Structure 1
Amino acid sequence: MSIYTIIDADTHVTETPDLWTSRAPAHMRDSVPRVITDSRGTHRWVLAGGRNLASAGMTATAGRGTFKNPPKTYEEMHPGAYDAKARLKYMDQMGIWAMVMYPNVGGFGAQQFLKLNDPELMLTCVQIYNDWQTEWASADSRRLIPITSIPFWDVAAAVTEVRRCAAIGHKGILFTGEPQYYGLPLLGDKHWSPLWEAAVELDLPISFHIGSGDMAEGLVKERVATYGKMAAFTELAVDIFLRNGLQLNDLLMSGVLARFPKIKFVSVESGIGWIPFVLEAMDYQFKGNSVAEEHPEFDRLPSEYFARNVYACYWFEQTAPRRLIDKIGVDNILFETDFPHPTSLYGDEVHARIKGGLSDCEESVRRKILWGNAQKLYKVTGPSADDEAKL
Structure 2
Amino acid sequence: MNAIIKDFKVVDTDTHVIEPYDLWTSRISVAKYGDKVPHVKWDPNHNEDAWFFGGERTTAAAGAAMAGWHEYPPKRPQRLEQVDPALYAAAPRLKKMDEYGIWAQILYPNVAGFGAGRYLALGDSELMLLCVKAYNDWLTEWSSVDPKRLVPQMALPFWDVQLSLKEMERCAKLGHKGLVMCGEPEHFGLPKLTDPQWDPLWAAAQDMGLPINFHIGTGDMWYFDMMHESIGRHAAFASMGALFSMDNGKIISQITCGGICERFPKLNFVSVESGVGWLPYLLQGLDYQWLNCGAHKENPHMKLLPSEYFKRQIYGCFWFEQGLKPAIDFLGADNILYETDFPHPTSMSPGPATSALAPGDYMEEVFQGVAREDVGKIVHSNAARIYHLD
Q: Structure 1 CA distance, aligned partners of 2:228 and 2:26? A: 36
CA offsets, 1:184-214, max 9 Å, x none?
A: 1121211001100110110000011000111
Q: 1:367 aligns with which of 344, 356, 376?
A: 376
Deviates more, 1:40-49 or 1:262-271: 40-49
Gaps of 5+ in 1: 382-391
Match of 1:387 in 2: none
Match of 1:60 in 2: 65
TM-score (normalizing by structure 2): 0.93
Deviates more, 1:37-46 or 1:195-204: 37-46
Would the aligned equivalents of 1:58 and 1:67 in 2 still touch at CA under 8 Å? no
Q: 2:36 aligns with which of 12, 31, 35?
A: 31
Deviates more, 1:231-240 or 1:96-105: 231-240
Q: Structure 1 CA distance, aligned partners of 2:245 and 2:164? A: 26
Is residue 150 from structure 1 mapped to residue 156 from structure 2 by the alignment?
yes
TM-score (normalizing by structure 1): 0.93
Is residue 333 from structure 1 mapped to residue 336 from structure 2 by the alignment?
yes
Would the aligned equivalents of 1:257 and 1:263 in 2 still touch at CA under 8 Å? yes
Match of 1:342 in 2: 345
Match runs of 1:280-319 below 5 Å: 280-319=284-323
Is residue 202 from structure 1 mapped to residue 196 from structure 2 by the alignment?
no
Match runs of 1:80-95 below 5 Å: 80-95=86-101
SS across alignment from 2:202: helix
Q: 2:183 aligns with which of 174, 177, 188?
A: 177
Would the aligned equivalents of 2:50 and 2:59 in 1 still touch at CA under 8 Å? yes
CA offsets, 1:13-49, max 9 Å, x none?
A: 1000100000002412531111112337522111222
Question: Aligned letter for 1:284?
Answer: Y
SS across alignment from 1:299: coil
Match of 1:77 in 2: 83
Gaps of 5+ in 2: 351-356
Question: Aligned letter for 2:339?
Answer: E
Distance 1:68 1:182, change over 3 A: closer
Alignment length, in residue pairs? 377
Q: Structure 1 CA distance, aligned partners of 2:125 and 2:378? A: 40
**% identical equivalent positions:** 44
Is residue 227 from structure 1 mapped to residue 231 from structure 2 by the alignment?
yes
Q: Structure 1 CA distance, aligned partners of 2:119 and 2:233? A: 26
Match runs of 1:6-17 below 5 Å: 6-17=10-21
Is residue 131 from structure 1 mapped to residue 137 from structure 2 by the alignment?
yes
Would the aligned equivalents of 2:101 and 2:360 in 1 still touch at CA under 8 Å? no
SS across alignment from 1:312: strand
Would the aligned equivalents of 1:21 and 1:29 in 2 still touch at CA under 8 Å? no
Distance 1:183 1:32, change over 3 A: same
Q: 1:112 aligns with which of 108, 118, 127?
A: 118
Q: Structure 2 CA distance, aligned partners of 1:151 and 1:228? A: 37
Question: Aligned letter for 1:276?
Answer: P
Q: Structure 1 CA distance, aligned partners of 2:190 and 2:360? A: 41
Q: Structure 2 CA distance, aligned partners of 1:322 and 1:218? A: 29
Q: Structure 2 CA distance, aligned partners of 1:377 and 1:331? A: 11
